[in-house]
Amino acid sequence: MNMKTIYRRLFPAVIGLWIMSGVELAAQPRAAVPTADQVGAACMPDTIALIRAPFDMPQLTRPVFPDYTVTLTAKALKKAPLASTVIQQAIDETCRRGGGTVVVPAGVWQSGRIVLKSNVNLHFADSAELHFSGRVEDYLPVVFTRSAGVEGMSLGAFIYAHGQENIAITGHGRLVGPERDCAILKQNIGYGDFDKYIAYDRPATERIYDGHDGTDVFLPTFIGPVDCRRVLIEGVSLEKSVFWNIVPVYCDSVIIRGVTVQSVGIPTGDGMDIESCRNVLVEYCTLSTGDDSFTIKSGRGIDGLRVNRPSENIVLRHNLTLTGHGGITCGSETAGMIRDVYAHDCVFLGTNVGIRFKTRRPRGGGGERLYYERIRMDLKATAIHFDMLGSSTYVGALAGRGQMKRDEFTPVYRDVHIRDIVVENASCFLKINGIPESPARNVHISRAEANAGQLAIINDADGVTVTDAVLRAPDNAISVSDGRNIRFEHVRFDTPDGAVRLNTDGPLTENIRFADCTPEVR
């Protein structure tokens, strides 16, 4: 029996330890949690280590390309109005020959959309810079895309692929987006009230947003493979995106490693969004973003339910987030379900929220079987945050805590396991805002050490355990509203007055227990 088989047989038992009693957990040695200098793009090794996960996950390997290379010349790139014309010709010809590598040389080159083709590695030499245009016409004709979880025909991505196999973007090149006053951004469809612009009664191929006469466009992502297999994105740096940065959609077998993203100050500048993909490895990346950093999504509301494709079998490891709204976020587009995610050995340094779960009543789907281990956080806001209601600004009365009837658009979050975390700073350790008719269920946190402004605020949750933890906070309150089956066990609370105060309300609140905690909770 090989080690891989042994590991897979034993791993469910290991995961079982994550939700055992505090006494049993306390007997286990506390795992080493990495520091910022041990993760991120600067630490990326040459080889891809064995992937271990608490679910059946294939061992992903880099795609292999034929031994054929086209190295573009500065002379050829300078002659073209846009370097992308020459790059595209080389990609097309390399694909026709059966595949190989197209090398973009050192220099600063202006570009429109580039379309990757099967069996081609687009490689950027050191000091190669590709600066993308902000003109709508440089990304036409329209292509099939998914924007904020909704399908349509629009600009796609700066580097785009559709239905291709065995593709890569590699090297240490610098990819730069346009200035903020560009036409693409001026013709932005507007994602705050996005749904009112979408013709949901039409097929996706008839929802055309081509920007003619100044009309709306879906903002292009930076790198956006759609329905591709065996994808590698490695080593490049991205900055000044107009929208989300790295966004594989409907892809299978994706490796993203050693990537650096800088989108601070860009309101929709997510670092990467894994959308309805399966078998994904994200490792040794460094993100500084204007929105969420590492994000997993699966479609939005009615359109996402129609497509019904989950994001599943996703491993994130050895990553570093700096500025950003959320370190690792699930949602808020969750229609096709997010399941079997394992994030480990990551550091969030200066991020707002650490581990973030978002959805909304109209979004559908949700998340389940989500695992987090050995995470270090130094945050501006909450360490672990479930935000299932959203803001009334965007969903109106659906953001309220009034009980509503469950329907196909009611999302869930359940079976979340978090252990071996260090929270150096946060405004609150745990904040759960579930949905009254769909409470957050079976949330298990163990072996945590945290310094936070507040201990816990739990609204609409069923089955929350915090075991074997040390929680320090100047505010000594734990507040529970319509929370049931909540247990703190083997937890040491460190508060200025040496006391912990339990505040409860709501008719559904019941079975809140504190076992072997210090001080005693009153």
Domain housing 192: 62-113+127-233+244-250
pLDDT confidence tier of residue 195, bands split at 50, 70 and 90:
confident
pLDDT band at 494 (very low <50, low <70, confident <90, very high): very high
**Residue 227 neighbours by CB under 8 Å, 6+ apart:** 162, 163, 249, 250, 251
Q: What is the mean pLDDT of residues 412-438?
A: 98
Residue 290 — very low, low, confident or very high, per pLDDT cuts 50/70/90? Answer: very high
pLDDT of residue 31: 83
**What is the reported pLDDT for 24?**
37
In a domain, 258, yes or no: no
pLDDT band at 374 (very low <50, low <70, confident <90, very high): very high
Distance between CA atoms of residues 50 and 317, nearest Å = 12
Confidence of residue 394 (pLDDT cuts 50, 70, 90): confident
Cα gap 57→340, rounded to integer Å: 9
* Mean pLDDT computed over every residue of the chain: 94
Tally of structural domains, the chain: 1
Q: What is the model's pLDDT at position 15?
A: 39
Residue 109 vs residue 391, higher pLDDT: 109
Query: In this structure, is residue 68 part of a structural domain?
Result: yes
Q: With 50 as the cut, is the pLDDT of residue 11 above it?
A: no
Confidence band of 349 (pLDDT split at 50, 70, 90): very high
**pLDDT for the residue 7:** 35
Hey, how many other C-beta atoms are within 10 angstroms of the C-beta on 16?
11
Q: Residue 246 — very low, low, confident or very high, per pLDDT cuts 50/70/90?
A: very high
Does 485 fall in a domain?
Answer: no
Residue 215 resides in a domain:
yes
Q: Is 68 exposed, middle or buried (0-12, 13-18, 19+ CB in 10 A)?
A: middle
Torsion of CA 133, 134, 139, 144, to 10 degrees: 130
The mean per-residue pLDDT over the stretch 438-458 comes to: 98
Per-residue pLDDT band for 26 (boundaries 50, 70, 90) equals very low
pLDDT in tens, 63-99: 999 999 999 999 999 999 999 999 999 999 999 999 9
Band of residue 478 on the pLDDT scale cut at 50, 70, 90: very high
pLDDT of the residue at 207: 97
> Is residue 239 helix, strand or coil?
strand
Q: Do the domain assignments include residue 154?
A: yes
Number of Cα atoms under 13 Å in the Cβ half of residue 238:
32
- Confidence class for position 27, pLDDT limits 50, 70, 90: very low
DSSP conformational letter for 503: E
CATH code, 224: 2.160.20.10
According to the model, what pLDDT value does residue 345 have?
A: 98
What is the structure's pLDDT at 8? 38
Percent share of the chain, pLDDT over 90: 90
Residue 176, in any domain of the structure: yes
Burial environment of residue 246 by CB neighbours within 10 A (0 to 12, 13 to 18, 19 or more):
buried
Q: Can you give the pLDDT at residue 393?
A: 83
Is position 69 within any domain? yes
| Residue 410 pLDDT exceeds 60 | yes
User: According to the model, what pLDDT value does residue 520 have?
Assistant: 86
Q: Which of 377, 231, 256 is nearest to 316 (CA)?
A: 256
Lowest mean pLDDT among 34-43, 391-400, 412-421, 467-476: 391-400
CB 416 within 8 A of CB 464: no
- pTM score of the predicted model: 0.93
Work out the pLDDT band at 30, boundaries 50, 70, 90. Answer: low
Residues in contact with 54: Cβ distance below 8 Å, sequence separation at least 6, in sequence order: 11, 12, 14, 15, 342, 369, 371
Percentage of the residues of the chain whose pLDDT score is greater than 70: 94
